[in-house]
Structure 1
């Protein structure tokens, strides 16, 4: 159980930007959702969804503008909508608390960290942006308790992207990075557009687990850890 918990680890520090709303109840326990604004190193920020148990909300003032530290996991589930399954991501809080001003100022230096230990479950897609940046899109399956898995979309940049382009379905990798939000527009059947929000993990560092994958001849040069390019 500890191994399953530790293969998906998230810690974020930021500000509440949306009122909490009731989400669902499971085994008599209520769960709520709200959103947090997490600053980037640039002037931008990410708006991330949080799912939290009512047990963690006791004596907590989760109102807009409050600073919060959340530790947990990035989880996925399928939502059936208009005849299609949609992959929905949320940060599932295992712990949450209101930091002191001193603690917040210290921890905000690294406000958004995620570690994933999982397996490639879809052929990676390599592409370049209009500005010439190299990107590879990945989908990583991370095991969860009770024979469940979370499917996490990730992106790698630069030489990490070139390395990930050659990964195969079933390859075991470990990744470190941050969770980011990205706005995009979906074109509708009537010609209009709808503004949408996507969430993904931006990889800063990764490790290929060469002794645990689906390939022949596992002892190869791809076992080296790749350091991140600046992003």
Structure 2
């Protein structure tokens, strides 16, 4: 159980940009979504959804504009809409608090960190941008307690992209990076265009666990992914 708990770790520091919105209730416990704005090293920011239990909000004054620290996990679930399945990502808060000035100054140096330990569950896709940057899109399955898994889309760059291009379904990797938000446009069947937001992990460091993979079970792993994607819920 400890290894599972340590396979998915997120720490973010950011500003609350919207009032909380009710998400769901489970066993009498209510959960809410906060959108948190996190600075990048560039002038851009990422706005990430955080799922928070009402029990973490007791005696906390979390208002729009407040800076908070969130520690938790990046989780996925499947939303069924108009005959299609969509993978939804959210940061599930295990702890949330308002930092003092000294702690804020220390944490803001690295405001967006994630560590994942999982297995490749879909064939990596290598591509280049119009500016010639090399990118490989990968999807990894990270084990969670109670025989559940989270499916996390990730992006590798440069030499990591070239390396990831040759990974196979079932390969075991560990990654370090940050969670990023990305706006894109989607054209609907009626010809109209809507703005959408995607979330993914941008990889800064990657470790390939050579002697621990499930390559022999590639077909089973892929079918498990497809099956879980239909029923996964956080």
Task: Bin the TM-score by the shorter chain.
Answer: over 0.9
Question: 1:62 Cα deviation (Å)?
Answer: 1.4
Question: 1:215 Cα deviation (Å)?
Answer: 4.6
The equivalent of 1:205 in structure 2 is: 205
For residues 108 and 19 of structure 1, the distance between their equivalents in structure 2, rounded to whole angstroms, comes to 22
- TM-score normalised to structure 2 length: 0.91
Question: Is residue 24 of structure 1 aligned with residue 24 of structure 2?
Answer: yes
Structure 2's unaligned 5+ residue stretches are 217-234
Question: Is residue 103 of structure 1 aligned with residue 108 of structure 2?
Answer: no
Conserved? CA contact 2:169–2:215, under 8 Å = no
The equivalent of 1:11 in structure 2 is: 11
Task: Quote the RMSD (CA, aligned, Å).
Answer: 0.8
SS, match of residue 160 in structure 2: helix
Deviations 1:75-97 (A, max 9, x none): 00000001000000000000000
Alignment of 1:74-85 (within 5 A): 74-85=74-85
Conserved? CA contact 2:4–2:145, under 8 Å = yes
Count residues in correspondence.
216
For residues 101 and 45 of structure 1, the distance between their equivalents in structure 2, rounded to whole angstroms, comes to 21
Deviations 1:50-97 (A, max 9, x none): 000011001111111000000000000000001000000000000000
Question: Is residue 145 of structure 1 aligned with residue 145 of structure 2?
Answer: yes
For residues 215 and 30 of structure 1, the distance between their equivalents in structure 2, rounded to whole angstroms, comes to 40
Deviations 1:96-125 (A, max 9, x none): 000012211111000000000000000000
More helix by share: 2
For residues 81 and 190 of structure 1, the distance between their equivalents in structure 2, rounded to whole angstroms, comes to 17
The equivalent of 2:55 in structure 1 is: 55
- TM-score normalised to structure 1 length: 0.92
For residues 87 and 27 of structure 2, the distance between their equivalents in structure 1, rounded to whole angstroms, comes to 24
Deviations 1:185-221 (A, max 9, x none): 00011111000000000000000001101358xxxxx
The equivalent of 1:64 in structure 2 is: 64
After TM superposition, the runs of 4+ consecutive aligned structure 1 residues lying more than 3 A away are none
The equivalent of 2:159 in structure 1 is: 159
For residues 36 and 197 of structure 2, the distance between their equivalents in structure 1, rounded to whole angstroms, comes to 14
Conserved? CA contact 2:12–2:69, under 8 Å = yes
For residues 110 and 156 of structure 1, the distance between their equivalents in structure 2, rounded to whole angstroms, comes to 19
SS, match of residue 121 in structure 1: strand
